[in-house]
Structure 1
């Protein structure tokens, strides 16, 4: 197998000169550089990434921690991250938590041991244990999904997005609006989106009915169960429902269809996330496009700023887009 030492021998230079060419560091004359590169090309020499990392103290690998590998949000976020990092010669190493907060911490430790150059975490909580572990990292770090105190974060404007989609329903004449959310320990999706919904109701002096506010998990089945609870809570029924994810909305849609209620004639329905499914269910779902690929790209740019310049800006907020379809 060809080695750096052999490349140096054939080019009649020192191994240190070959190393400077490979790492683009230090002065090497154009003639010598061309001679070395020609030999590398002819021999097909590939430098050991581990050895390179030891020399440069860089692995050119970024760790990315996700709550679920199978979701569209994660997939789009990773696309945005990987495309941006690839422009700068970085690869990514993925870790999955399966929505387990303890695994977020385990994966932080694991990726640090792998000597990655930085970490991007799509966080589902912002507990003190997680914050403490992040503060111990001593490598560049960016959070998405949650604002974590003292940590550079790239997030969506979840409060305003939920407020806008609720306000749109109100503009369409709806005054009895229910809500299907998730656990408020997930601050951005569970708490901030609920707060946006409540703010729209309060601004328009509409009733807040506790039984119409249900909490599920990130699943279609949970949307189905939550919709059932809302309609079984009393004689009066809402005319519209705001769901914090498309999957919850599709579950609610399934239940409404089973009991013979028409969407949007009997009950209007909205989701959030602009999933591929939202375009193909009948009726097509009104939703919020949270621009996950843009979020991923911005998280990557923020991390690169920290790696290269030590920039530690606290928070970037990504805009969103309301997509109005048939379900309202």
Structure 2
């Protein structure tokens, strides 16, 4: 039996008018919005007004859902996307998810109601709820930063980046190493980079490597706190700290300065990202540079193909570049 607005209202514990206002893009509280969306997902209900909006003529707008607005990598990527889209007559609509997965799902439905032609999602995770929403809205979606076999995806070769960093640090004679990663819910940054690094360590035969693994948040302040934990432990100070992101590495460098630890003579530090600031600080940070602006151009080209039903690769893998600077000491 087909569900009605009244059924959805009853199951969500709200008034029919509230459901109607929600379906028409009106203002409802965040908690109420989440209840209604959950019922809609559980019942598989597609309201007539929503279905009609999907069949209506799309706009020349491309939506992008960002994890946060203060991210250097995301802002550079969006700048590249905007430049490319404007050249092809499209405008970019940006939604900030504030690193909240429920807000990402909410944004997918909101963009669909606005007749957006395509969506670029900066994905930190790809859950079953994401996949259900992408399937339901019926609009071309491009995942950026994570991959899934059923959704067009663009990723960096994080495994190779981690592997190259591992080989480099080991080649400089470092055998007592701390690796600061992030949550493994983020497959690209939390899993692939670490796996590549561990592979390089496993291939290094003949000399024992002492490797300690830590987990941090993504903010610079998280890097500071994790580094202080390492410095204040009873363990021997590592000769090198390999960080999963440049932000974490900058936090480690700040913590080292606070403790009077000299870089690189007493502690070597590396990161991943290639942020502009890593070049101008002293000592310059050894890192893996990601072409965020160029990736934005490529993502825009990709979503335009999908919007126009043109052939496009299901998976695009972008390479990275090792940048050797002064933050790593040669112990050989």
Indicate how the Cα distance of structure 1 residues 261 and 185 shifts in structure 2: closer, same or farther if over 3 A, else same: same
Pick which of 193-202 and 113-122 moved more: 193-202
For 1:35, the equivalent position in structure 2 comes to none
Do residues 213 (structure 1) and 213 (structure 2) align?
A: yes
For 2:296, the equivalent position in structure 1 comes to 296
1:216 and 1:208 mapped to 2: Cα distance? 22
Q: How many angstroms does 1:310 deviate by?
A: 4.1
Pick which of 309-318 and 191-200 moved more: 309-318
For 1:279, the equivalent position in structure 2 comes to 279
Do residues 127 (structure 1) and 127 (structure 2) align?
A: yes
For 2:157, the equivalent position in structure 1 comes to 157
Is the Cα–Cα contact under 8 Å of residues 54 and 137 in structure 2 kept in the other structure?
Answer: no
Q: How many angstroms does 1:308 deviate by?
A: 1.7
For 2:200, the equivalent position in structure 1 comes to 200
Aligned residues: 275
Is the Cα–Cα contact under 8 Å of residues 198 and 208 in structure 1 kept in the other structure?
Answer: no
Map 1:123-272 → 2, pairs under 5 A: 123-205=123-205, 212-272=212-272
Indicate how the Cα distance of structure 1 residues 226 and 209 shifts in structure 2: closer, same or farther if over 3 A, else same: farther
Q: How many angstroms does 1:207 deviate by?
A: 5.3
Root mean square deviation, CA, Å:
2.0
For 1:106, the equivalent position in structure 2 comes to 106
TM-score calculated relative to the size of structure 2:
0.79
Do residues 324 (structure 1) and 315 (structure 2) align?
A: no
Deviations 1:69-109 (A, max 9, x none): 12111111101111111121000000001111111101001
Is the Cα–Cα contact under 8 Å of residues 131 and 149 in structure 1 kept in the other structure?
Answer: no
For 1:16, the equivalent position in structure 2 comes to none
Q: Secondary structure of 2:98's partner? A: coil
1:175 and 1:54 mapped to 2: Cα distance? 58
1:96 and 1:184 mapped to 2: Cα distance? 22
TM-score calculated relative to the size of structure 1:
0.80
Q: How many angstroms does 1:305 deviate by?
A: 1.4
Q: How many angstroms does 1:239 deviate by?
A: 0.9
Q: How many angstroms does 1:261 deviate by?
A: 1.4
Q: How many angstroms does 1:140 deviate by?
A: 1.0
2:142 and 2:208 mapped to 1: Cα distance? 39
For 2:37, the equivalent position in structure 1 comes to none
Is the Cα–Cα contact under 8 Å of residues 60 and 89 in structure 1 kept in the other structure?
Answer: yes
2:166 and 2:299 mapped to 1: Cα distance? 28
Map 1:22-41 → 2, pairs under 5 A: none
For 1:13, the equivalent position in structure 2 comes to none
Indicate how the Cα distance of structure 1 residues 54 and 178 shifts in structure 2: closer, same or farther if over 3 A, else same: closer
Mark the structure with the bigger radius of gyration.
1
